[in-house]
């Protein structure tokens, strides 16, 4: 497995693979890798002849009051995980390599980026879309793998890929959870012991919502989920929403293809999770 720092070297490695007729799968990450990330690398490994993973804590997707500086950085352990999961190359650029002096472009996927997490993290999805487009242009993969854990991000990237005719297959992958239901996340390590023991109640509340019969209206379902989340002492809710899974618009009535999403703050940690609602 190669570790590659420069965008030019990454582009050249991937170009060589494509010239040799090898399909390329790509998994963009911010590092601090866990089994959720590993599941994406394994899926890419199963579906492609070559796999590239990127590890880049993207400053452009963090707000000024957010955790960019303290975001966990565990590169040696990450490289070992990538190797074990079968990656061929890990691209870990410097911020200056991605955003050189004079960098001026932003990609905005309007509408989708303003709701849900976008309301609480202004500019976040602009930062995400911009860096993902750059990474896709550098690696030029046949397929790129994203977790449903960040469901809104997946929908934003699918929209960008369709709108800009990107020659890439965007693959959404299921959420990997701890045995108690907590969705794996690099930020879970911020949780204190007490917070960690309470955090699975978020998934518990969403799973309860997903089990409600079609007769329960969105309003009734959302009120029940909120009530259950608020049983956790010290928790605050950014949002709980039932949306159409394709365009993230609020559900007015129950229908197929809906998704129940929530973002909460537990102590100093922001947690997100979501479930499919049948
Ligand atoms: P991040 O490093 O948090 O930017 O995540 C990189 C990719 O891994 C994104 O596509 C995430 O959605 C995905 N991911 C993160 N956590 C999980 C999880 N628990 N299960 C599945 N995918 C995940």
Condensed to tens digits (0 to 9), the pLDDT of residues 90-143 reads: 999 999 999 999 999 999 999 999 999 999 999 999 999 999 999 999 999 999
Ligand 1, atom 7, lies closest to the CA of 29
Ligand 1, atom 8, lies closest to the CA of 37
Q: Which of 57, 34, 45 is nearest to 128 (CA)?
A: 57
Q: Are residues 193 and 129 in the same domain?
A: no
pLDDT of amino acid 278 = 81
Q: Are residues 94 and 219 in the same domain?
A: no
Question: Active site includes 124?
Answer: no
pLDDT of amino acid 253 = 96
Q: Are residues 143 and 198 in the same domain?
A: no
Q: Which two tokens stand for residue 216?
A: 């329960």
Q: Are residues 94 and 126 in the same domain?
A: yes
Spacing, Cα 214 to ligand 1 middle (Å): 30
Q: Could you tell me if residue 202 is inside a domain?
A: yes
Q: pLDDT tens across 24-43, in order?
A: 999 999 999 999 999 999 99
Q: Are residues 9 and 87 in the same domain?
A: yes
Task: Name the domain boundary from 127, 144, 173.
Answer: 173
Task: Name the domain boundary from 140, 173, 206.
Answer: 173
pTM for the predicted model, two decimal places = 0.98
Q: Which of 165, 171, 175 is nearest to 146 (CA)?
A: 171
Mutation to probe ligand 1, out of 150, 158, 202 (largest number of atoms < 8 A from CB): 150
Q: Are residues 131 and 63 in the same domain?
A: yes
Q: Are residues 58 and 128 in the same domain?
A: yes
Mutation to probe ligand 1, out of 29, 66, 158 (largest number of atoms < 8 A from CB): 29
Q: Could you tell me if residue 179 is inside a domain?
A: no
Q: Are residues 148 and 191 in the same domain?
A: no
Q: Which two tokens stand for residue 33?
A: 């890798």
The domain in which residue 197 lies consists of 186-277
Q: Could you tell me if residue 203 is inside a domain?
A: yes
Angle value at C-alpha 175, between 135 and 158, nearest 5 degrees: 40
CA gap 80, 129 in Å, rounded: 28
For residue 212, what is the domain's CATH number?
Answer: 3.30.1300.10
pLDDT of amino acid 273 = 98
For residue 14, what is the domain's CATH number?
Answer: 3.40.50.620
| Residues whose beta carbon lies within 6 Å of some atom of ligand 1 | 29-30, 36-37, 39-40, 146-147, 149-150, 173, 175-176, 183-186
**192-205 mean pLDDT:** 97
Ligand 1, atom 12, lies closest to the CA of 147
**212-228 mean pLDDT:** 97
Burial 141-159 (b: 16+ CB within 10 A, else e): bbbbbbbbbbbbbbbbbbb
Q: Are residues 139 and 236 in the same domain?
A: no
Q: Are 41 and 127 in contact (CB under 8 A)?
A: no
Q: Are residues 67 and 192 in the same domain?
A: no
Q: Could you tell me if residue 107 is inside a domain?
A: yes
pLDDT of amino acid 84 = 98
């Amino acid at each position: 497995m190669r570790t590659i720092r420069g965008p030019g070297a990454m582009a050249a490695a991937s170009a060589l693979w494509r010239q040799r007729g090898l399909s390329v799968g790509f998994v963009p990450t911010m590092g601090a890798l866990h089994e959720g990330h590993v599941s994406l690398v394994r899926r890419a490994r199963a579906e492609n002849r070559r796999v590239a993973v990127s590890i880049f804590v993207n400053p452009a997707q963090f707000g000024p009051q957010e955790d960019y500086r303290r975001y966990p950085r565990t590169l040696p352990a990450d490289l070992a995980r990538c190797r074990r999961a079968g990656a061929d190359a890990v691209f870990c650029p410097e911020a200056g390599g991605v955003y050189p002096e004079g960098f001026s472009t932003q990609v905005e996927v309007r509408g989708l980026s303003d709701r849900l997490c976008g309301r609480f993290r202004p500019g976040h999805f602009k930062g995400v879309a911009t860096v993902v487009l750059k990474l896709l242009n550098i690696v030029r993969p046949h397929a790129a793998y994203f977790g449903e854990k960040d469901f809104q991000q997946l929908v934003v990237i699918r929209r960008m890929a369709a709108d800009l005719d990107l020659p890439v297959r965007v693959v959404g992958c299921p959420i990997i959870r701890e045995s108690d239901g907590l969705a794996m996340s690099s930020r879970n390590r911020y949780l204190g012991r007490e917070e960690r023991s309470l955090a699975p109640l978020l998934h518990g509340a969403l799973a309860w919502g997903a089990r409600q019969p079609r007769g329960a209206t969105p309003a009734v379902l959302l009120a029940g989920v909120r009530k259950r989340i608020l049983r956790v002492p010290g928790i605050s809710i950014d949002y709980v929403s039932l949306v159409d899974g394709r365009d993230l618009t609020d559900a007015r009535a129950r229908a197929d293809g809906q998704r129940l999403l929530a973002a909460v703050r537990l102590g100093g940690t922001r947690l997100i999770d979501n479930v499919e609602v049948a």
